[in-house]
Amino acid sequence: MQRRNFSRALLASGGLAAAGTLGWGTAQAQIAGLKEGTDYLRLARPAPVDSAAGQVEVVEFFAYTCIHCYNFEPHITEWLKKKPAHVTLRRTPVAFSDAFLPLQRLYYALEAMGQVDALHDKVFKAIHIDKQRITTPDAITNWIEKQGVDRAKFTEFYNSFAVAGKARRATQLQEAYQVEGTPALGVAGRFYIPGQGARTLAVANALIAEVRKG
Listed by start position, the domains of the chain span 41-212
Least Cα distance to 159 among 140, 175, 172 occurs for 140
Question: For position 23, what pLDDT does the model report?
Answer: 44
Per-residue pLDDT reduced to its tens digit, 135-164:
999 999 999 999 999 999 999 999 999 999
Beta sheet of 56-62, edge-to-edge order: 41-42, 191-194, 184-187, 56-62, 87-93
User: Quick one: pLDDT band at residue 1, thresholds 50, 70, 90?
Assistant: low
The answer to whether residues 214 and 92 touch, using CB atoms and an 8 Å cutoff, is no
CA–CA distance, 190 with 211 (Å, rounded to integer):
9
Class of domain 41-212: alpha beta
Helix (H, G, I), strand (E, B) or coil at 180: coil
How high is the mean pLDDT of the chain? Answer: 87
